[in-house]
């Protein structure tokens, strides 16, 4: 297994952080009694998951190439 580049490692860390946040918000939503608040919290959790997926779909080293010019 090859070591991750700095940008890939950073990307992985951000993705994992957003997934942890999604899990935390989802846990809070499950304990929430008010249906509207639960729905909104679950929406926030979905947005964190979408953000994590969008980071994974970025081309490799995209952020590095942008600053290399």
pLDDT tens per residue across span 11-49: 889 999 999 999 999 999 999 999 999 999 999 999 999
Per-residue tokens: 38: 């639960």
State how far the Cα of 34 lies from the Cα of 43, in Å rounded to an integer.
14
Q: Say what the pTM is.
A: 0.74
The H-assigned helical ranges of 1-69 are 6-30, 35-57, 62-67
Per-residue tokens: 44: 């926030």
CA dihedral 52, 55, 56, 57 (to 10 degrees): 130
Neighbours of 31 (CB within 10 A): 8
What's the alpha-carbon Rg for the chain, to the nearest Å? 16
């Amino acid at each position: 297994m090859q070591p991750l580049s700095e940008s890939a490692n950073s990307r992985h860390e951000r993705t994992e952080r957003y997934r942890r946040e999604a899990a935390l918000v989802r846990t809070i939503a499950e304990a929430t009694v008010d249906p509207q608040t639960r729905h909104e919290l679950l929406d926030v959790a979905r947005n964190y998951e979408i953000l994590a997926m969008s980071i994974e779909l970025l081309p490799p080293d995209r952020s590095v190439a942008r600053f290399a010019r």
